[in-house]
Amino acid sequence: MGVLKPGSFFSLLKENGLLMESLVLQKNEFTKILKRAMNDHEVIGPREEDGRVYFRPLECMDELIWEFDNTVNNIKDFFFPPRQELYELKEETIVTFENACAKKRIILFARPCDARALKILDKLFLEDYEDRLYKAARDNTTVMGLSCQAPDQRCFCLSLGGSPFGTEGLDVLITAFQNDRLIISLITEKGEDIFKGKGNKAKQEELQSFERVKKKAEESVKREIRIPENLPDQFNSEYWRDVSRACISCGVCTYLCPTCHCFDIVDEENLRIRCWDTCSFNNFTRMASGENPRKNKFERYRQRIYHKFSYYKINFDDFACVGCGRCSSYCPVKMDIVEIVNNAGSSR
């Protein structure tokens, strides 16, 4: 993790919700600020396409959606995109695309759970061998969250250490109130820069009502994932065969997951490309010789559960799950990760 830099102590406190400064802004003022920011930033936010909401680069602020259930894709796509050109490999030279990462970006209305996933991915991509493109994207992006006032019945962020009002991974947290008022909680300097000199400092009663809605939202997260202590011992259990029967080995759960990060590296003509890959696919671990250590469906499903709830914890001291509920709501056969994990400990 390195040495604590001067000043970072305060940001550490802020990231944990202490010493946080809060502003109050009218919705139209906010829109104005962002419109101006669009001049020198790419602004990404939730936008509707054929009845579903996706995070996409916005062409204008009118496209932005203010109220939405969890989006289909999540903000991981902008740090670790589905398809990313790494460099061009020619016979004698290698051409890299340096300037492309320099683009300044703002991501609007990220859900706290998705933002928290960035903190989890940081451990993988930034520790040990640092990933240049991921780092550049992280450095150049300001993430503004939208607090989640009506969590879905599938959400279980609280039991993994997150919160519908969580600030981890965010630079700014925005909470919408009545009368088009917004409370803007400034978390990092990056966030402060954008709102410098704007709005009024939040008054005591405004902060109190902020706390009230926060509490209400947290109370409405009813689902709970309980990761069994003895999960590692269940590796050879028959349980995994039973629960994975319905799985169709597609990539929905992993591709929509904010923390799943497996990838493949392929060549397309001269381009070397990094693209998403998933442990659900049969050919994920199949070697050229035809040998495949995870050729059965249950082994692949088990790998996904263990990677998230056992291996990642061992290697990076965090579970690779933020409780957004996408995997169970988009699963073609509605496999429910919470139920499956909660029952894993008591299996044979």
Partner 1 sequence: MKIVGFLCNWCSYAGADLAGISRLQYPADIRIIRVPCSGRVNPMLILKCFQKGIDGVLVSGCHPGDCHYQEGNYYTRRRMLMLRSLLDYFGIDRRRFHVSWVSASEGVKWADVVKKVVEDVRAATEEGTRKVTGTEQIDHDRGN
Partner 2 sequence: MIEEIKNIAGKLLKNGDIGLFIGYGRNSLGDVIPVFIQKEKDVKTLVWGSDCFYNLTTYLTDRDITRLQEGSIGILLKGCDQKALKVLISESQVRRERIKIIGVTCDGMKNPDGSILSKCETCDVHDPDPALCDAVIGGKSTKKEAKDDFADVAAVDALDSSARREHWNRYFKRCIRCYACRNVCPLCYCKECVLDEHNPQWVSPSPSADNNMFFHIIRAYHLTGRCIDCGECERVCPVGIPLRRINRKMIQAVRESFDFEAGKDQKTKSPLTWFRQEDPEDFF
Partner 3 sequence: MKDLFIPELARIESIKIETRDIKTLRFMFQNEETGKIFRFSAGQFIELSVPRVGESTFCIASAPSDTGYIECSIKKVGRVTEAIHMLEVGNKIGIRGPYGNCFPMETLKGKNLIFVGGGIGLAPLRSLIREVLHKRKEFEDLMLIYGARTVSDLVYKDELDEWTKRSDLKTVLTVDPGGQSESWNGKVGFVPVVLRDVSAPRENSVVITCGPPIMIKFVLLTLREMGFNPSQIITTLEMKMKCGVGKCGRCNIGPFYVCKDGPVFTLEQIEGFVEEIF
Residue tagged 């008054």 (tokens): 203
Least CB distance from residue 189 to partner 1, whole Å? 22
Helix H or strand E segment including 138: helix 132-139
Binding mask 124-163 for partner 3 (x = CB under 8 A): xx--xxxxxx-x----------------------------
Q: Which is nearer to partner 2, 146 or 247 (CB)?
A: 247
- CA 130 vs. chain centroid, Å, equals 19
E strands within the chain?
21-26, 42-49, 52-57, 83-89, 94-96, 105-110, 141-146, 172-176, 181-186, 200-201, 263-268, 271-276
Determine if 50 is a binding residue for partner 2 (CB under 8 A). Answer: yes
What's the rounded Cα separation, in Å, for the pair 160 and 145? Answer: 19
C-beta of 106 vs 335, nearer to partner 1? 106
Q: How far is the CB of 9 from partner 2 (least distance, A)?
A: 40
- Dist CA 35 CA 41 (whole Å): 10
Alpha-carbon Rg of the chain, whole angstroms?
21
Among partner 2, partner 1, partner 3, none, the one that 289 touches (CB under a kind-dependent 5 to 8 A) is partner 3
Q: Which is nearer to partner 2, 49 or 291 (CB)?
A: 49
Helix locations, 244-324, DSSP H: 252-256, 297-306, 312-316
Find the helix packing angle between 112-126 and 132-139, rounded to 10°.
140
Q: Which of 12, 13, 19, 94 is in the footprint of partner 3 by CB under 8 A?
A: 94
For the chain, give percent helix, strand, coil, nearest 5. Answer: 40, 20, 45
Distance CA 264, CA 274 (A): 6
3-state secondary structure of 13: helix
> Binds 137, which of partner 1, partner 2, partner 3, none (CB < 5 to 8 A, cut-off by type)?
partner 1
Q: Are 44 and 78 within 8 A, CB to CB?
A: yes
Asked whether position 101 contacts partner 1 by CB under 8 A, the answer is: yes
Q: Which is nearer to partner 3, 32 or 241 (CB)?
A: 241
> Does 78 help bind partner 1 (rule: CB under 8 A)?
yes
Contact 142, 172 (CB under 8 A): yes
Q: Does 246 participate in binding partner 2 (rule CB under 8 A)?
A: yes
339 binds, among partner 3, partner 1, partner 2, none (CB under 5 to 8 A by kind): partner 2
- Site residues, partner 3 (CB under 8 A): 86-87, 89-94, 96, 124-125, 128-133, 135, 235-236, 261-267, 269-270, 272, 274, 277, 279, 284-289, 291, 293-294, 299, 303, 306-307, 310-311, 314-315
Residues in contact with partner 1 by CB under 8 A are 56-57, 77-78, 81-86, 97, 100-101, 103, 105, 133, 136-137
**Contact positions vs partner 2 (CB under 8 A):** 49-52, 54, 72-73, 82-83, 153-154, 241-242, 244-246, 248-252, 254-256, 264, 266, 268, 273, 275-278, 281-283, 288, 296-298, 328, 330, 332-336, 339
